[in-house]
Amino acid sequence: MIFPFTAIVDQEEMKLGLILNVIDPSIGGLLIMGEKGTAKSTTVRALADLLPEIEIVKGCRFNCAPEGPFCLECLERLEKGETLEVEKKKMEVVELPLGVTEDRVVGTIDIEYAITYGKRHFEPGLLARANRNFLYIDEVNLLEDHIVDLLLDSAAMGINRVEREGISFYHPARFILVGSMNPEEGELRPQFLDRFGLCVEVRAILDKNLRKEILKRKIEFDIEPEKFLEKWRPEQEKLAQKIIEAKRSFKEVKVSEDVYEAIVGLTSELNLDGHRGDIVLLKAAKAYAAFNQRKEVLKEDIKKVAPLALRHRFKRLPFEEPESEVKRFYGILSRI
Amino acid sequence: MAFFQEFKSFFPELIGNYHAKLALILNLIDQKCGGVLLIGKRGVGKSLLLKLFKKFLNLFNLSYIEIPLNVTEENLIGGIDIEKTLEKGIKVYQEGLLEKAKNSYVLIEEINLLPTEYLSLIFQTSYNYTIIATMNPEEGSISPHFLDKMGMCVYMERIDNFEDYSDLLRLWGNYRVLDEFYLENYEKLYRYVSFVKACRSNIGYEDTIWDYIVEVCLKNMVSTHRAEIFLFFAARAFAAMKGEGMIKPEHVNFVAPLVLLHRKREIEEKPKPQNKEEENQQNLQKNQNLQKEPPKNPPSKGKDSKPEREKEEKELSDLKEVEIVFPSIPKEEVFELGEVFKPKRIFLRKDRIARTTSGRRTKSKTLLKGGRFIRSVMFSKDKDVDLFGTIKTAAPFQKLRGRKDKLVIYKEDIRYKEKENKIGHLVVFVTDGSGSMAANQRMIATKGAIMSLLMDCYQKRDKVAMILFRKFKAEVVLPPTSSVELAHKKLKDLPTGGNTPLSAGLLEAYKLIKKYHLKFPKDRILLVVITDGKANIPIKFYADPLKEVQNISQEIKNLPYIETIVVDTEVKSEFLRMDLAKDLAQWLSATYIPLEDLKAESLTNLIIQKKESQF
């Protein structure tokens, strides 16, 4: 039984970051920076639970979408002239534990098959399961470097290409990457940091009334989950509908010349490396506009999502206090 | 304490330790209490209590699993047993321990000695099990991240209450009676737990209890929301034990120490307030320190944790003393950070010990499942089969062995994976904070140098510790931590002024390293002594400070697992240069680097970097 997404108190930014990623997965994931015990993983699971089932090719081990892109196995079936049936499947949160091996991430040779038939056959790894789902990494900053490299590769290409132990295989691996970390326990490689589309900071809520509400809801849920879920069902359905609508319409959201200028103005004034910031900012703004049932991006949208899209891209040395840069950022933002 | 009277008969082989017993019983009553971590030095009865708990579970057929320290990843999460699969030719599955543990109890001894990778598997939330674990803090800590996921935590201490002893001593004479006595008591406990368990969901609560719980948590500087949730269930179970129909504030108070103790500690380390909210927090903490203990819950806190906390508070106030009590001494200054540069690359020798830590400085063979595959070997301690290597070995003999369809693999074909991982280090900075460092603004450059080394540590994922010596003593400003950010904050506030108790600084380093080595025998340690070597205060009254330095250096030199660097901060252009640090380096058989040279070599690197960033 999963705690309902809409019943999570506050933490609006984290929720928004996740929703925007669901609306447009090409935004490129979310990094959650914050203390322990702030409902990070609960929120991710709750959102996956809220979303409607996805359609996949029946029997496909890689969750291929019926409209493609396809894995090698589905392609083979298509070549043979088979029609691919469709089945529905709940979205899931695939968790990547810290000590994970390369084999388990990318997949490996299927041993039983190798032994019985003397042939090589691919056994899917976590990336296969994560295709079109959420890939959640707790304490992403503590992940081993060579695993990070693997993830970067697949996240960038949307494909998991395996060339090892004498097998050669590929399958689509498009997942919403969600990482959480506590910055006090060591930082993330800048290269990896930049790969996350959005970034939010969460703090434990210290307001007494809100805390009380959190506690109350959680206990209510723990004691009588069915009743609690029933109570929140209307809210849940409303939000799910809103997300589905936005997912359908975000591509049609228009962007005026003014908005383009505002984005480029903002990023160039901040002197950011690369263009990923601009692109992500635009995508996030479009998704946000769609989420609010608008057909056009407003400057307000930029203001709303810019902190999420740019906060982790500020240039600074590892120990420099980010405060001044943050202040400057909000200064620039207010002028838009 | 009247309440605890009946606890004498619970887990009767262990006397006293009522709070630990209470924690266990609460978790028996309601698994939502989130588990117990028993912390204590050796010989206080942690393992015994865990064994008794196991005995209880065994007696009444309650399911549990144990996670031994030599557990492997396959053991934990299950998977294909490649070795058996290859031998038998059919897929042999191994069910994971964690899968088996669903909705039951997981017992772990010395949880702090498990590698982080396994802990992160164990603490994944998807299975509803209750962890009962022990740890000895002398042998290493556990990340606060995991600590937070434990519902309760109890400090166990030696018991000197002879009244309790005498009861048991009387029984010890007659073993048969003793056994029966024990069994009787366990049955009593079982009946008790079952009875209370049945009542627990009938316990009601008023709306005000939410406010109360939140207040207790905030007052105790606990920010994680888990605390409140665990506290609620603990209080509810406790109310059930007391046979009451409602959860009352006194129930919350009674169990609060169990739930809050381990969450409270780390906040005290928190750096300066960054915004108003945190400032409020700090004020709250101050108020709380004034009050010392909330009036209503002394019973449980009293015995188990007070000395520990008092000690800590004392340490904390010691620290402050240095900074606050003597501000009038004119020579005391806190210098800015100097120029930060890219330091020389420091490598340690690669050795042949297999390790379980991770980091980036030195490469080492690794015992963990992670790491980069280096080669296929015939024998390996951890049974990570290299399938490709195995098949390759078997391939040439297939015809000879008369292969028809299935691959014929003999036991001797099996190859294992050997993997390599870069390991982490502890870098111990021993910093001279004496008045001589204040001359010519030497401290600014020194802080810059340390900062640069810290940057290096940060990139290589090293742990750092910092010792400052000045005036009449040395102190550990920063115990070993992997948060380099924290180190940076400490460095910024490092004061300067006073004499140079170099020998005390080295002694402190020696002690710290020894202790650390006990916890992490396989970690490599880098000692960086930053000083001009002008020792002028001995540890012992009237001793020769230099002689003392020499003696301690000898001891440090003899530690086999460390490497030492002496960074000389003396201004070399000065007329009166003494080069005392050079002698120190010799005594320590350390690498000697004058402060200026630390950056000289990498100047080229810096230029290359700059060029790159221009594009």
Q: What is the tens place of the pLDDT at every residue in B439-493?
A: 666 777 778 778 777 777 766 667 888 898 888 888 888 888 766 677 777 777 7
State the Cα–Cα distance between residues B443 and B124, nearest whole angstrom: 46
The alpha-carbon gap from B210 to the nearest alpha carbon of chain A, in Å, equals 6
| B72 in contact with A, Cβ within 8 Å | no
More confident residue, A120 or B281: A120
Domains B2-158+174-291 and B333-347+423-611 share a fold: yes
At B37 the pLDDT is 94
At B329 the pLDDT is 35
Per-residue pLDDT, averaged over A248-277, amounts to 88
Q: Per residue in A123-164, pLDDT tens?
A: 888 999 999 999 999 888 878 777 887 887 788 788 888 887
What band does B575 get if pLDDT is binned at 50, 70 and 90? low
Whether A263 contacts A278, CB under 8 Å: yes
In the block, tokens 């409902």 appear at A39
What band does B112 get if pLDDT is binned at 50, 70 and 90? confident
Instruction: Give the residue among B370, B334, B373, B336 at the shortest CA–CA distance from B355.
Output: B370
Alpha-carbon radius of gyration of chain A: 21
Q: Which of residues 483-522 of B touch A (CB under 8 A)?
A: 483-486, 488
% pLDDT > 70, chain A: 92
Nearest to A115 among B89, B121, B233 (CB): B89
More confident residue, A94 or B577: A94
Predicted ipTM? 0.80
Per-residue pLDDT, averaged over B414-432, amounts to 76
What band does A185 get if pLDDT is binned at 50, 70 and 90? low
As a whole number, the mean pLDDT across chain B is: 73
Interface test with A, best of B223, B415, B615 (most A CBs within 10 A): B223
CB contact under 8 A, A115 and B281: no
Interface test with B, best of A1, A49, A98 (most B CBs within 10 A): A98
At B16 the pLDDT is 78
Reduced to 3 states, what is the DSSP secondary structure of residue B468? strand
Name the residue ranges covered by the structural domains of chain A. Answer: 5-202, 251-335
As a whole number, the mean pLDDT across chain A is: 86
Distance of CA A81 to the CA centre of its chain: 35
**Partners of A54 in the beta sheet?**
A89
List the single range of A78-87, A100-109, A111-120 with lowest mean pLDDT.
A111-120
List the single range of A104-113, A245-254, B42-51 with lowest mean pLDDT.
A104-113
| B201 in contact with A, Cβ within 8 Å | yes
Instruction: Give the residue among B457, B463, B546 at the shortest CA–CA distance from B506.
Output: B546
In the block, tokens 């590892």 appear at A318
CATH class assigned to A251-335: mainly alpha
Examine the pLDDT at B285 and tell me if it is beyond 60: no
Structure tokens at B459: 């990139």
State the Cα–Cα distance between residues B160 and B171, nearest whole angstrom: 19
CB contact under 8 A, A215 and B391: no
Q: Per residue in B230-264, pLDDT tens?
A: 999 999 999 998 888 889 999 999 999 899 888 87
For A145, list phi and psi in degrees, rounded to 5. -60, -45
The alpha-carbon gap from B415 to the nearest alpha carbon of chain A, in Å, equals 14
| B408 in contact with A, Cβ within 8 Å | no
The alpha-carbon gap from B223 to the nearest alpha carbon of chain A, in Å, equals 6
What band does A311 get if pLDDT is binned at 50, 70 and 90? confident
The alpha-carbon gap from B91 to the nearest alpha carbon of chain A, in Å, equals 6
What band does A30 get if pLDDT is binned at 50, 70 and 90? very high
Examine the pLDDT at B568 and tell me if it is beyond 60: yes
State the Cα–Cα distance between residues B310 and A336, nearest whole angstrom: 54
Examine the pLDDT at A20 and tell me if it is beyond 70: yes
Q: Residues of B with CB below 8 A from A182's CB?
A: 145
The alpha-carbon gap from A44 to the nearest alpha carbon of chain B, in Å, equals 13
Whether B155 contacts B46, CB under 8 Å: no
% pLDDT > 90, chain A: 38
Examine the pLDDT at B303 and tell me if it is beyond 50: no
Q: E strands within chain A?
A: 30-34, 54-57, 86-89, 93-95, 108-109, 122-123, 134-137, 159-164, 167-172, 176-181, 198-202
The alpha-carbon gap from B562 to the nearest alpha carbon of chain A, in Å, equals 24
What band does B170 get if pLDDT is binned at 50, 70 and 90? low
For A31, list phi and psi in degrees, rounded to 5. -110, 125
Instruction: Give the residue among A175, A179, A140 at the shortest CA–CA distance from A160.
Output: A175
At A110 the pLDDT is 73
At B87 the pLDDT is 67
| B90 in contact with A, Cβ within 8 Å | yes
**A-B Cβ pairs (cutoff 8 Å, strict):** 156
At A295 the pLDDT is 92
Rounded to 5°, the CA angle A179-A181-A182 comes to 170
Structure tokens at A164: 């090892």
CB contact under 8 A, B407 and A115: yes
The pTM for the full model equals 0.69
What band does B599 get if pLDDT is binned at 50, 70 and 90? low
For B562, list phi and psi in degrees, rounded to 5. -120, 160
What band does B325 get if pLDDT is binned at 50, 70 and 90? very low
**What residue type is A299 in one-letter code?**
K
Active site residues of A: 276
Q: Which CATH architecture has domain B333-347+423-611?
A: 3-Layer(aba) Sandwich (3.40)
At B222 the pLDDT is 80
At B266 the pLDDT is 41
Q: Pairing between strand A167-172 and B425-432? A: unpaired
What band does B86 get if pLDDT is binned at 50, 70 and 90? low
Structure tokens at B438: 């204040």
List the single range of A49-58, B102-111, B204-213, B410-419 with lowest mean pLDDT.
B410-419
CB contact under 8 A, B82 and A166: no
For B423, list phi and psi in degrees, rounded to 5. -100, 160
What band does A8 get if pLDDT is binned at 50, 70 and 90? very high
Examine the pLDDT at B272 and tell me if it is beyond 90: no
Q: Residues of B with CB below 8 A from A206's CB?
A: 218, 223, 277, 280-281
Give the count of alpha carbons within 13 A of B540, CB side only: 9
A5-202 CATH: 3.40.50.300
State the Cα–Cα distance between residues A61 and A122, nearest whole angstrom: 10
Nearest-Cα residue of chain A relative to residue B87: A115
Interface test with A, best of B210, B265, B488 (most A CBs within 10 A): B210
State the Cα–Cα distance between residues A191 and A195, nearest whole angstrom: 7
Examine the pLDDT at B108 and tell me if it is beyond 90: yes
At B610 the pLDDT is 37
CB contact under 8 A, A115 and B116: no
Whether A37 contacts B146, CB under 8 Å: no
What band does A305 get if pLDDT is binned at 50, 70 and 90? very high
State the Cα–Cα distance between residues A131 and A62, nearest whole angstrom: 6
Name the residue ranges covered by the structural domains of chain B. Answer: 2-158+174-291, 333-347+423-611, 367-420
Q: Residues of B with CB below 8 A from A108's CB?
A: 387
Interface test with A, best of B387, B406, B414, B488 (most A CBs within 10 A): B387
CB contact under 8 A, B116 and A98: yes
Whether B511 contacts B441, CB under 8 Å: no
Examine the pLDDT at A290 and tell me if it is beyond 80: yes
CB contact under 8 A, B369 and A208: no
Whether B385 contacts A114, CB under 8 Å: no
DSSP letter (8 states) at residue A177: E
Residue B155: C-alpha distances to residues B38, B44, B113, B305, B311 (Å): 6, 10, 18, 6, 14
Per-residue pLDDT, averaged over B191-216, amounts to 88
**What residue type is B82 in one-letter code?**
I
Burial class for A96, CB neighbours closer than 10 Å (0-12, 13-18, 19+)? buried
At B280 the pLDDT is 45
Nearest-Cα residue of chain A relative to residue B456: A318
State the Cα–Cα distance between residues A326 and B546, nearest whole angstrom: 50
Examine the pLDDT at B297 and tell me if it is beyond 50: no
CB atoms within 10 A of CB A53: 10
Please tell me the CATH superfamily of domain B2-158+174-291, with its number: P-loop containing nucleotide triphosphate hydrolases (3.40.50.300)
State the Cα–Cα distance between residues A124 and A121, nearest whole angstrom: 10
% pLDDT > 90, chain B: 9
